[in-house]
Structures are given as C-alpha cells and as structure tokens.
Amino acid sequence: MTEKRMSRWYFGGLASCGAACCTHPLDLIKVHLQTQQKVEKRMVGMAIHVVKSDGVLALYSGLSASLCRQMSYSLTRFAIYETVRDMLGSTGQGPMPFYQKVLLGAFGGFTGGFVGSPADMVNVRMQNDMKLPPELRRNYKHAIDGFYRVVREEGVRRLFSGATMASSRGAMVTVGQLACYDQAKQLVLGTGLMGDNILTHFVSSSIAGGCATFLCQPLDVLKTRLMSSKGEYTGVGHCLRETAKLGPLAFYKGLVPAGIRLIPHTVLTFIFLEQLKKYFGIRIVS
C-alpha cells in the first residue's frame, strides 16, 4: 500500500503569493527597465535610483496588487492545469505526454492571464508610478483603490487594457513553468539518481524558470508598455510597431532582471507548492 499527496486547487495561488513576497523588488525593477524609452540605467543603477529617490520601502510599491494578481492569475492557471492533470492521471494511464502538458498549460495560462488582467494592470501602474513627475502620478493607495479609481475615471473596459498581451504571456509562461517543470521533474526522477525531494524540485523549477523567461519576454515587454501607457498607444499593433522602431533587442529589454526575478520566483513557487502538497495535500492511498 502506497500513499501520495495531491495538490488542492488553491495551493498554486498560495505558493505564488509566497514567492511574490520574496521577489517583488526584482519585479518592480524589471517594470522600470522595460518602460524606459531609452536605455539610461541598468539593473543595479535602477535599484539604486529607486532607493535614493523614494527609500527602501519603495521596492515594495504595488505589493498588494501583486498579491491580488497571484490570487487571480496564478490561482486560476494552477487550478486548471493541476486539476485536469491529476484527473487524467487518476485513470491509471501514466504521465501525460509532453504535448498534452503544453496544450493544457497554454489553455490554463491564457485563461489565468485574462482573469488576472485587472490586478496585473494596477500592479504595473503602482510599480511605475514613482518614475513619473509628481503631477502625473496616479497615487493609488492600494490595489482595491486602484481598481475603484480605474473604473470611476476610465471605465470598466480599461481594467482589461493589455488583456490580449497578458493572456498570451500567461499562456507562454505557464507552458514554460508548469509543463516544463512537470517534464523536467519526470526526467530527473526517471534517471533514478535523485528522489522526490527538495533538490529535485530545485533543479526542475530552475529549468522551468529559464524556459518561461525566454518564451514570455517579448510579450512581457509589450504588456508592460500597454498597461503603463497614458494613451500613447492605440492598440497592440501600434505598441508593437513603436517598440520595433527601437530595434529587435527592445523586445528583450530587461531580460536579465526578468530572468533574475522569474527564475527565483519559479523556484520558490514550486518549492512552496511541493511543501504545501506534502503537508496539507489530499491524501491518496493505493
């Protein structure tokens, strides 16, 4: 008789929130780098500039919106992916083929990206606010205040500004994170050299974080520009053309800080998720 633990549908959201609390300063710096019209500062220079201008706590600007985003975007994509994967796995047919993991990850990520668009937009605005002159700052007090003011001042539809990019990015990131993590973990365990332990989780999630960073960076740049704009872009196509004028490397602006943020975020998310599953997951005896 063997026992295993299955994840509960909301564990992905909780694990992502824990990871976000640790990596939020890196996310904030990434947003600042991506919204530069010209490359004026690098990662360390931008971090120093933020701290000098607004203090150390400014590195956590927009944290409430980031947590709201994780409890909408990440909770949705993890819930869809893991629920369907575990449901299919319970039929006794063995692990899903990789292409099915990719398709499931893309669907879950696209859905989660759309659901999380309002929180994502408020998150980007709150992080980017300190770069603006005082008279142009939005000064949202917290995420809920941001939602309320966007609806009151700009209308409900504005909450979903950049939703196409956010959904597309969500699909790519979820393929890179969840599908690649499952496949990497399966391959690592298949070697017989490592057991299902925290070292395996670390190696697998590091691979997944690298895949996710490479896949989603161009879409992440476009999404950030659309969400932080003050009407200078008429749509996705216009934003794409204006970004392309800066050269092909503009689509990978902030790649290093994006990787420095996304890879640790991925690692922490899956380590937290595996620990939640181990101690609080649904007990299955077979």
The predicted structure's pLDDT at residue 133: 82
Range of the domain at 117: 3-285
Q: Which residue has the higher pLDDT, 257 or 236?
A: 236
Residues in the chain: 286
**Whether 169 contacts 175, CB under 8 Å:** no
- Sorting pLDDT into bands at 50, 70 and 90, what band is 37? low
What is the sign of the dihedral through the CA atoms of 75, 80, 81 and 86?
positive
The predicted structure's pLDDT at residue 266: 96
Position 154 pLDDT exceeds 70: yes
Total structural domains in the chain? 1
Q: In this structure, what DSSP letter does residue 158 have?
A: G
What average pLDDT is seen over the chain? 87
- Sorting pLDDT into bands at 50, 70 and 90, what band is 1? low
Whether pTM > 0.75 for this model: the answer is yes
- Sorting pLDDT into bands at 50, 70 and 90, what band is 135? confident
Beta pairing partners, 284: 4
**Whether 227 contacts 159, CB under 8 Å:** no
Tokens of 62: 């927009």
Position 219 pLDDT exceeds 70: yes
Residue with tokens 């974080």: 209
**Whether 12 contacts 79, CB under 8 Å:** yes
Q: What is the dihedral of CA 158, 254, 72, 177, to 10 degrees?
A: 140
The predicted structure's pLDDT at residue 274: 95
Determine the Cα–Cα distance for residues 5 and 277; give it in Å rounded to an integer.
Answer: 6
Determine the Cα–Cα distance for residues 214 and 239; give it in Å rounded to an integer.
Answer: 20
CATH number at residue 208: 1.50.40.10
